[in-house]
Structure 1
Amino acid sequence: MVITARALNRSTLARQLLLGRESLDVADGVRRVVALQAQQPASPYVALWNRLSGFDPADLDTAVAGLQAVKATLMRITLHLVHAEDYRAFREAVEPTLRGSRLGDSRFTASGLTAADADAVVPDLLKYADGPRTTAEVRDWLAERLGVPIEPVTWRMLRQYAPLWHAPVGGPWSFDNQQSYLAAATRPVLADPDAAAGGLQTLIRRYLEGFGPASVADMAQFALVQKARVRAAVQALDTDLEQLEGADGTVLYDVPGAPRPAEDTPAPPRLMAMWDSILLAYADRSRVIPPEYRKQVTRINGDVLPTLLVDGYVAGVWRPVEGGIEASAFHPLPEEVWQGLAAEAESLTGLLADRDPRAYGRYDHWWRKGMPAAETRLLPGG
């Protein structure tokens, strides 16, 4: 079966709850979309606002405080918010990547520590972090335990490898720059090829449920794992997956019964979060981002700006400003689309008002450097 590029776009939107907000509680919403990019504290809130009807940010506060939704270093060696029940398999899936990239990094080994040292200290670290521990507390503990000074970069490599969750610290978005850490309640098996293989099979199934159909390259990009590992996992799943063909002949895989809407299914406008997962989940990002706009959206240092989604595709960027949302379209938009974006902006500014009206304000420098746009409008807040 051949599936068109536009039908792939609609499949992504359906599975990511972007064809229409759905009535789900926060924990179920997090699980449905698989993983939310969380290196910017406001983004999981904006992401769920885009996807859930009647979203109340206090519900996400509660899920995070109750450790139903947990924040940790996972896919692509970056911070994600995932359902606690998904954490163990996801962490085992990316174990080889995290182990090689963190414990093998010259910034870690320059301290004189080795992977064997990390293996020896992690179990005791997890016992020490049975309750929230600040960065200062953990670095002091490690220095005493290991007998060497723990520089910030050494600690960063180790904490990104160790199965630690970020402990909520309050503030407008549950997390802020004053980070605390907590041992994962569901402990992954580390440095075990069988556990890693089983975890990757689980992650691939969950990824396809939330982002499929997708190619081996897409799956490898999403998780940042070797393509050979993905191919082996796909082969092991075998009859559990369906095989399709993309318009360019690429082999795609999917889970049976997953939604694949018609390519002419209407897609409402959305104001997507910074680093929203749909912008990063594929090797071929043209599924959502037109190639001519990719550099405007994904900046040279890796920042992925908040975007306008129009007819299912990135059409511009936005930022909160005094008085509402400043929306910059990369190409002319019909007036009815602007009206739809204005309605979204009114709702979004209401969400931000009680939390942080200038969320993402630290990234304004990208606008000061010049943002190519066919039209920019201030969409008034509610």
Structure 2
Amino acid sequence: MTPPSPRALNRATLARQLLLERADLTVPEAVRRVVALQAQHPASPYVALWNRVARFDPADLDAALADRVVVKASLLRIALHLVHAEDYETVHTAMQPSLRAARLHDPRFAVSGISIDEAHALVPYLLAYAAGPRTGAELEAWVDARVPETPRGAWWALRTFAPLHHVPTGGPWSFGTSASYVAAGTDALPRVTTAFDDALPTLVRRYLEGFGPASVADVSQVAMIPRARVRAAVKTLGDTVDRFAGPDGAELLDVPGAPRPDEDVPAPPRLLGMWDETLLAYADRSRVVPPDVRPLVTRSNGDVLPTVLVDGYVVGVWRPVAEGVEVTTYRSVPDEAWPALEAEARSLVAFLAGRDPAPFARYGHWWAKLPAGDVRTIGAA
């Protein structure tokens, strides 16, 4: 086949991430469709679903989280994500080597004074204790009683790689600043390499369903899994995935029959929340974030600011202000795009007003460090 253009890849991503048109789906169906929603900030998945689901009611996500149909845990890129409950075990198992390596080989774990094997041995007992919801303080105290000298490093590692779900604690976005946890429903932790390797092909396929076409490098980056393991998983998938050359000649992978819209399909403006997964899901993020804009929206410590999407690409950042939504753009925005952006901003202001008018306010300090751009305030009531 003719290699797809960069713009065609952009449209494929937007289609699968429900950003070409808001979908008439339930919250669990939408989460399953997009595979994973970044949840480092509690408000982010709510803003993500507002961008993707027609007539999205945040109470529906509250309910899905309370019922554990959608779950929150440390998963892709060792970061907090929401996934459909039926995807959790596969993703968590495939991610185990990465989750463990990121914690158990870190000096912050080493100060605990216990070995890796001793940390693993704690897991079944920790999960039994967390059979019902437990606060982070309760679980740290539980670890403290078993690692009495320097327990903090042990709990810091366990809370990331053990099969634990975050428990909703209330507040405007289901989760507050103090985390609570509950066992994910398994009483053991997979430690056999074959278990990881068996789960990885499914993770690769799920990733392609939500973000393909993509390369081995893309899968490796989003999951923080070595490329050799990804290649082995792709080999296992055999002819159940398509293989073709990308714009630069590198091999791309995809799921047969997955949406690949024409590159000329219109992409409506969107106001994405912090750390929207679409911006982070590739080794080459220029699929959605132009290289000249990326250092402006991705700050030095990894914070990814709320972004403005026009014609499928990030053109700037946004933040709520008293008069509506302040938009700062660093690329030219066509005159005809502003009415649609205005409508999005009005809808966003109304959406946030019901919960928290300024959910990302703690990151406002970054605006003082941004270069001058075209600043407009839109979306006034």
Q: Name the counterpart of 1:345.
A: 345
Taking the aligned partners of 1:48 and 1:211, their CA distance within structure 2 comes to: 16
Distance 1:312 1:188 in 2: 43
Deviates more, 1:255-264 or 1:190-199: 190-199
Report the alpha carbon displacement of residue 372 of structure 1 after superposing the two structures with TM: 3.2
Aligned mates of 1:283, 1:51 — CA distance in 2: 23
Return the offset for 1:362.
0.5
Give matches, 1:306-345, under 5 Å. Answer: 306-345=306-345
Other-structure match for 2:210? 210
What pairs up with 1:180-219 in 2 under 5 angstroms?
180-186=180-186, 189-219=189-219
Q: Which residue of 1 aligns with 2:15?
A: 14
Q: Distance in 2 between matches of 1:91 and 1:148?
A: 30
Distance change in 2, residues 1:197/1:381 (3 Å):
farther
Aligned-residue Cα RMSD (Å) equals 1.2
Letter of the 2:351 partner, please give it: L
**CA 1:119/1:170 → structure 2, altered by over 3 Å: closer, same or farther?**
same
Alignment check: 8 A CA contact 2:307 2:315 kept: yes
List gaps (5 residues or longer) in structure 2: none
Partner of 1:251: 251
Deviates more, 1:138-147 or 1:203-212: 138-147
Compute the displacement of 1:379 (Å): 1.0
Kindly state the Cα deviation for residue 188 of structure 1 after the two structures are TM-superposed. 7.0
Partner of 1:102: 103
Aligned-pair CA distance for 1:323: 2.0
Q: Given that residues 219 and 282 in structure 1 are in contact (C-alpha distance below 8 angstroms), is that contact kept between their aligned partners in structure 2?
A: yes
One-letter identity of the residue aligned with 1:284: D
Q: Tell me the TM-score normalized by structure 1.
A: 0.97
Q: Is the 8 A contact 1:103 1:161 kept in 2?
A: no
Match of 1:377 in 2: 376
Cross-structure match for 1:303: 303
Are the aligned partners of 2:344 and 2:379 in contact in 1 as well (CA < 8 Å)?
no
How far apart are residue 111 of structure 1 and its match?
A: 1.6
Identity %: 57
| Cα drift, residue 154 of structure 1 | 3.8
- Structure 1 spans left out of the alignment, 5+ residues: none
Partners in 2 of 1:331 and 1:280 — Cα distance?
20
Please give the TM-score of this superposition, normalised by the length of structure 2: 0.97
What's the secondary structure of 1:94's corresponding residue? Answer: helix
CA deviation after TM superposition for structure 1 residue 187, in Å: 6.0
Change (3 A) 1:230 1:95: same
Q: d(CA) in 2 for partners of 1:333 and 1:317? A: 13
* Structure 2 residue identity aligned to 1:355: R
Aligned 1:1-382 pairs, distance under 5 A: 1=1, 2-151=3-152, 153-186=153-186, 189-373=189-373, 375-382=374-381
The alignment partner of 1:315 has SS state of strand
Question: What's the offset of the Cα at 1:99?
Answer: 1.3
Distance (whole Å) between structure 1 residues aligned to residue 58 and residue 292 of structure 2:
34
Q: Distance in 2 between matches of 1:235 and 1:347?
A: 45
C-alpha separation in 2, matches of 1:214 and 1:317: 26
Report the more deviating stretch, 30-39 or 328-337.
328-337
| Aligned partners of 2:243 and 2:252 also within 8 Å | yes
